[in-house]
């Protein structure tokens, strides 16, 4: 069974801090994704990566960066956290085959005070 | 650009009654379509997918979905709802052409299903 693990379920940080969210998958998937989920807005793609050291901007990349140094790990970085980045963050992974679903972690609920 | 619409923010049904959660899509060519369910404080769980073939797709927990190309719809259905089916449901579409940004899914805004005892 695919396992996508996000390092924290709940996180509280202060405005201006640099925040790291970590995600690890155990299925040797090529593709990894970061989304944020807000009430009434659904899931919005922040960044994704289809290979090690490769990244592409999603729909809302502003204020975020990512790192993928190893195939199993995909990190989301909030360079200088702001209160409007308070949200639920979801990581997902998928294989290289487009007919396969994405598999999600349980999410990190991030609060920026 | 691909898009997904879930026209109902909320659906309420009585336990034992059939349920339908609606989804329409827009994509170039033949779509790959997915349904996910999210329980409170959890990530999304994959329910079922349509890739090709039979228009009626069966998935987990007794759910099924019907693909209708002429109406560009992919509605989620279950013959008899359970209280435990109460959750947030997301429809998603992917461009079937591989490579680069085509790996990403476009999600609808979600439909909150409440099944009343």
Cβ-defined contacts of A10-14 (< 8 Å, 24+): A10/A108, A10/A109, A10/A111, A11/A108, A11/A109, A11/A110, A11/A111, A12/A110, A12/A111, A12/A113, A13/A78, A13/A81, A13/A110, A13/A111, A13/A112, A13/A113, A14/A81, A14/A112, A14/A113
Contacts of residue A96 in chain B, CB cutoff 8 Å? 98, 103
B105 confidence band (pLDDT: 50, 70, 90): confident
Instruction: Note whether A98 and B97 are within 8 A (CB).
Output: yes
List the single range of A4-13, B49-58, B91-100 with lowest mean pLDDT. Answer: B91-100
A42 closest CB neighbour out of B42, B97, B109:
B109
- Cβ pair B107:A43 closer than 8 A: yes
DSSP string of chain A, one letter each residue: ---EEES-SEEEE-TT--EEEEEEESS--SEEEEEEEETTTEEEEEEEESSTT--EE-S--TTEEEEEEETTEEEEEESS--GGG-EEEEEEEE-S-TTSPPEE---EEEEE-
For position B113, what pLDDT does the model report?
98
Contacts of residue A97 in chain B, CB cutoff 8 Å? 98
For position A21, what pLDDT does the model report?
97
- Cβ pair B107:A42 closer than 8 A: yes
Distance CA A50, CA A70 (A): 12
Residues A69-90: what's their mean pLDDT? 97
pLDDT above 70: residue B102 = no
Rg (CA), chain B: 14
**DSSP, res B89:** E
3-state secondary structure of B100: helix
Choose the mutation target among B41, B44, B53 for the interface with A, i.e. most A CBs under 10 Å.
B44
Contacts of residue A33 in chain B, CB cutoff 8 Å? 104
- Range list of β-strands (E), B9-105: 10-14, 19-21, 24-26, 32-38, 44-50, 56-58, 64-68, 73-78, 87-94
Contacts of residue B102 in chain A, CB cutoff 8 Å? 98
B104 closest CB neighbour out of A9, A58, A106:
A58
pLDDT above 80: residue A26 = yes
Q: Name the token pair of A95.
A: 């294989």
For position B98, what pLDDT does the model report?
58
Residue A99: alpha-carbon gap to chain centroid: 21
Contacts of residue B43 in chain A, CB cutoff 8 Å? 4, 90, 92, 104-107
Distance CA A55, CA A76 (A): 11
For position A68, what pLDDT does the model report?
96
Residues A91-108: what's their mean pLDDT? 88
Q: What are phi and psi of B62, to 5 degrees?
A: 80, 5
A99 closest CB neighbour out of B32, B43, B100:
B32
Q: Which residue has the tokens 């997904």?
A: B4
A50 closest CB neighbour out of B46, B90, B103:
B103
Residues B102-111: what's their mean pLDDT? 86
Residues A24-30: what's their mean pLDDT? 93
pLDDT above 90: residue A95 = no
pLDDT above 70: residue A14 = yes
pLDDT per residue as tens digits for the range B15-31: 999 999 999 999 888 88
- Cβ pair A107:B94 closer than 8 A: no
pLDDT per residue as tens digits for the range B45-75: 999 999 988 899 999 999 999 999 999 999 9
For position B31, what pLDDT does the model report?
87
């Amino acid at each position: 069974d695919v396992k996508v693990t996000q390092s924290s379920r709940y996180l509280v940080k202060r405005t201006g801090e640099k925040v790291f969210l970590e995600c690890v998958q155990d299925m040797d998937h090529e593709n990894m994704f970061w989304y944020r989920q807000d009430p009434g807005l659904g899931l919005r793609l922040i960044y994704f990566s289809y290979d090690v050291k490769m990244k592409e901007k999603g729909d809302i990349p502003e204020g975020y960066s990512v790192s993928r140094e190893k195939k199993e790990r995909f990190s989301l970085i909030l360079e200088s956290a702001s209160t409007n980045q308070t949200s639920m963050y979801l990581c997902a992974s998928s294989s290289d085959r487009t007919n396969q679903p994405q598999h999600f972690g349980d999410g990190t609920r991030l609060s920026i005070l | 650009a691909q898009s997904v619409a879930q026209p109902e923010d909320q659906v309420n049904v009585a336990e034992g009654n059939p349920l339908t959660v609606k989804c329409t899509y827009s994509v170039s060519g033949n779509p790959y379509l997915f349904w996910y369910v999210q329980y409170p404080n959890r990530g999304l769980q994959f329910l079922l997918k349509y890739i090709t073939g039979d228009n009626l797709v069966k998935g987990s927990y007794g759910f099924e979905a019907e693909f209708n190309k002429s109406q560009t719809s992919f509605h989620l259905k279950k013959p008899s709802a359970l209280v435990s089916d109460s959750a947030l449901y997301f429809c998603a579409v992917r461009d079937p052409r591989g490579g680069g940004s085509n790996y990403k899914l476009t999600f609808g805004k979600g439909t909150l299903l409440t099944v009343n005892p």
